[in-house]
Structure 1
Amino acid sequence: MSADNDLPKLLDDCVHCGFCLPTCPTYVLWGEEMDSPRGRIHLMAQHEEGAPLSGPMVEHFDRCLGCMACVTACPSGVQYDRLIEMTRAEVEREHPRPFQERVIREAIFRLFPYRRRLRALRGPLRAYQRTGLDRLVRRTGLLERLSPSLAAMERLAPPLGRAPRLPERVGARGGRRATVGMLTGCVQSEFFPGVNAATARVLALEGCDVVIPRAQGCCGALSLHAGREEEARAFARRTVATFEHVDVIVVNAAGCGSAMKEYEALLAADPAWSRRAAALAGRTRDLAEFLVELGPRAERHPLPVTLAYHDACHLSHAQGIRSQPRALLAAVPELKVREIADPEICCGSAGTYNLLQPEAAAELGERKAVNVDATGAELLVAANPGCSMQIATALRRRGTDIAVAHTAQVLDASLRGLGREALVKHGS
């Protein structure tokens, strides 16, 4: 890890005060020092001083969700986000993983960042769900015996309906106030197409011309947060080239927005791309962030719904966006927003974490589902597809019937006057 000259200073910033401990999901679960941020920083320092990346050391790094709650809590300004990403890249370069784990990881990263591959999976997966074969397979426990990761992948898949395709341009309603590019994402576009459709409508109703490039691909978030740096850089370059012609890029998935805002650091060593990457990172906005900056114009119709708002980690901790979604929801007449206990604790999704660490993820999902259930809300709102799948799965396990929607879908229902039933029934 010594290739980065900043590493010793980044490690020394940690004074081991312990403020991070109650916000770290894995420390909360197990109470193990090496599964806390300061414990992992201690292991990073050992490796920097020459200790090899042993299996147990790597396991502690793998158990980290990368949720960045510790970054929010740290009074010393420790850049744990940089430290864990650098460490994971080092692990990917140096540590030979067992064969079965390599197969699972390759399967994940050869599928999820590629929309066409996900799209090809939709038909068989939809048939699998509609015939009831999914329930039969779960009762047999076959996938669980084959691979806990495969079982988690199957269990997390949301119910699939039709997937309407968006046009390349959606015109502003009324006078045009802005022209924005819209990232449709990989999992979002194929598993939650309704979120993208609602995002485009809301932006248009607020006076934006929405450009939706058909050639766009993965932003690289999953690869970046898993230490697959070169893969992430390739995705980043393509995204930069795709969106260079628009003034603002609006993103409705927290993990994607967080990754795109990191492009400057990701491509800093590439002279041909560093300046272009920095420019795009500066023009990237989360949907809620952008709408608050733009200001409301379209009329909000009453929406008598009680909802619980979930803070996605890569929105609240990585991007510092907490007040904006709440402000947008508070402006909807008759809408009631209830807070979820322990909002700083991750739901267990964390990119590919719920596939690679399914047991820990399930424990965190259960904790989050209990807290959501306690709100008495009839709708859960989250701003990241991984969170939506993770919490919905945990709620189903509890037998709790709460619909899940995105902030964009709530705003869409209000702006179009669709009413409570349409949102609660079709939000997820």
Structure 2
Amino acid sequence: MDPELIKDCVHCGFCLPTCPTYVLWGEEMDSPRGRIHLMKQHVEGTPITPEMAGHFDACLGCMACVTACPSGVRYDRLIEQTRAEVEREHVREPEDRALRALVFSLFPYPRRLRALRLPLRLSERLRERIAPRLARINPSLAAMAELAPKGVARVRLPPLVRAQGPRRAVVGMLTGCVQGEFFPQVNAATARVLALEGCDVVIPPGQGCCGALSLHSGQEAQALRFARRTIAAFERAGVDTVVVNAAGCGSTMKDYAEILEGEPGWAARARAIRVLDVTEFLAELGPVAERHPLPISVAYHDACHLAHAQGVRAQPRALLTGVPGLTIREIAESSICCGSAGTYNLFQPRAAGELGERKAAHVVATGADVLVSANPGCTMQITAALRRLGEKEIPVAHTVQILDASLRGVQVGVPG
């Protein structure tokens, strides 16, 4: 934990109403200000107690406080450093250790995630019967079963998708772990949209995990290993611009130079690669392909690591507004996290469940035909919450899927 970053906090309290856990519980130590106070205690010599670790674990890392802070406190860096410190010093209970070992041996590895498809399909059929039993045995396992997306069809992308019409740019594309294995249709739509807008899209095979899930959970060594591998994969592909369609991945990749600062050579290589969210890139590139009308209303969900960590809010809305016939309906409390937060909904399922249902109720209140989300974790989290609330399931699409439908002149499914 960097003492100089801790000193930047003047304890003004502007972060309090933006913090999801403070909104839920009203507990000072479960606010950014309170957690920074605990960080200060630790750097001054207080060991990390189980209670302190619990307050740090309860943080979603949503970065809403970074947006709200008038003093520019780098809470994002502080919580990442703190979580790494917790993993080094704090001895977790055996059940917690086993769960974390399971998650970090599966989710950052696309091939292992692929092997989960059969049991996830089974859990989909048995969900209503097994969820209550699992919840009694282990809430985290119940959450894992509940979050499983419905029937996932394998999509194979070639290493190069050629531009349609005159070539305007050459970009690399991150396929991601959860995105690539659970939402491959989003990657396919991303490649099509970029190609239709005049881009050669380079998709390095075997690129693996970017390290986001590991970094956000204090698994520092694993995160750095994945970061180096990702940089090398895109260097070999010969691209210096990488487009990302998952908010958490984009946020982490934009911070590669900072998280690799202890390895100057790798930090320099990270700085040589420009990382952009797909909506950020498309807004900057400008449209050339014809948009066909989509007469639908969409509720746009601000993924935390897109809106707060990357500051990308206007670009997705501008792209959606550019689709003829489409209307955007804003979601109440849009800056409050849905509770997904990478692995948070697995490690803190009760708090995540409360936040998910809060977000789902606000989505339903918009009356929109489709929910648009920029992160696979958010998509799974809100879909599961809607199901728990007994609401009619609302189709969920990524921004690029809406653009893809408009560019190709096909309709987006609306529930009957």
Supply the AA of the counterpart residue of 1:50.
G
Q: How does 1:110-121 map to 2 (within 5 A)?
A: 110-121=105-116
Work out whether 1:34 is the aligned partner of 2:23. Answer: no
- Choose from 317, 322, 327 the match for 1:331: 322
SS in 1 for 2:205: coil
- Choose from 214, 220, 237 the match for 2:228: 237
- Choose from 406, 414, 419 the match for 2:406: 414
Residue in 2 that maps onto 1:405: 397
Residue in 2 that maps onto 1:264: 257
Q: Is the 8 A contact 1:304 1:420 kept in 2?
A: no
CA–CA distance in structure 2, aligned partners of residues 272 and 291 of structure 1? 31
CA–CA distance in structure 1, aligned partners of residues 48 and 122 of structure 2? 44
Residue in 2 that maps onto 1:392: 383
SS in 1 for 2:173: strand
Residue in 2 that maps onto 1:98: 93
Residue in 1 that maps onto 2:184: 193
Supply the AA of the counterpart residue of 1:371.
H
Residue in 1 that maps onto 2:8: 13
**Alpha carbon RMSD of aligned pairs, Å?**
1.0
Q: Is the 8 A contact 2:240 2:272 kept in 1?
A: no
Task: Note the alpha carbon deviations across 1:156-186, whole angstroms, 9 max, x for none.
Answer: 1110231121111111100111111100000
- Is there any run of 5+ residues in structure 1 with no aligned partner, and where? 2-6
SS in 2 for 1:273: helix
Work out whether 1:379 is the aligned partner of 2:370. Answer: yes
Q: Alpha-carbon deviation of 1:127?
A: 4.3
Q: Is the 8 A contact 1:195 1:408 kept in 2?
A: yes
Give structure 1 regions of 4+ aligned residues with deviation exceeding 6 angstroms. Answer: none
SS in 2 for 1:180: strand
Supply the AA of the counterpart residue of 1:410.
I
CA–CA distance in structure 2, aligned partners of residues 119 and 164 of structure 1? 12
Q: Alpha-carbon deviation of 1:147?
A: 1.1
Q: Alpha-carbon deviation of 1:274?
A: 1.8
Q: Alpha-carbon deviation of 1:419?
A: 1.9
Residue in 1 that maps onto 2:75: 80
Work out whether 1:51 is the aligned partner of 2:36. Answer: no
CA–CA distance in structure 2, aligned partners of residues 196 and 255 of structure 1? 15
Q: How does 1:221-370 map to 2 (within 5 A)?
A: 221-244=212-235, 245-280=238-273, 283-370=274-361
Supply the AA of the counterpart residue of 1:257.
G
Q: How does 1:133-212 map to 2 (within 5 A)?
A: 133-138=126-131, 141-212=132-203
CA–CA distance in structure 2, aligned partners of residues 160 and 112 of structure 1? 18
* Residue-pair matches, total: 412
Q: Is the 8 A contact 2:120 2:145 kept in 1?
A: no
Task: Note the alpha carbon deviations across 1:225-282, whole angstroms, 9 max, x for none.
Answer: 11111110000000000012103100000000000001001111113312102222xx
Q: Is the 8 A contact 2:301 2:371 kept in 1?
A: yes
Residue in 2 that maps onto 1:125: 120
Q: Alpha-carbon deviation of 1:388?
A: 0.4
Q: Alpha-carbon deviation of 1:420?
A: 3.8
Q: Alpha-carbon deviation of 1:122?
A: 1.2
Supply the AA of the counterpart residue of 1:231.
Q
SS in 2 for 1:299: coil
SS in 2 for 1:315: helix
- Is there any run of 5+ residues in structure 2 with no aligned partner, and where? none
Percent of pairs with identical residues:
69
Q: Is the 8 A contact 1:362 1:394 kept in 2?
A: yes
CA–CA distance in structure 2, aligned partners of residues 367 and 111 of structure 1? 29
Q: Alpha-carbon deviation of 1:114?
A: 0.3
Supply the AA of the counterpart residue of 1:151.
A
CA–CA distance in structure 2, aligned partners of residues 239 and 389 of structure 1? 25
**TM-score scaled by structure 2?**
0.97
Q: 1:289 to 1:55 in 2, by over 3 A?
A: same
**TM-score scaled by structure 1?**
0.95
CA–CA distance in structure 1, aligned partners of residues 338 and 87 of structure 2? 25
Q: Alpha-carbon deviation of 1:128?
A: 4.3
Q: Is the 8 A contact 1:24 1:70 kept in 2?
A: yes
- Choose from 62, 67, 83 the match for 2:62: 67
Q: Alpha-carbon deviation of 1:133?
A: 2.3
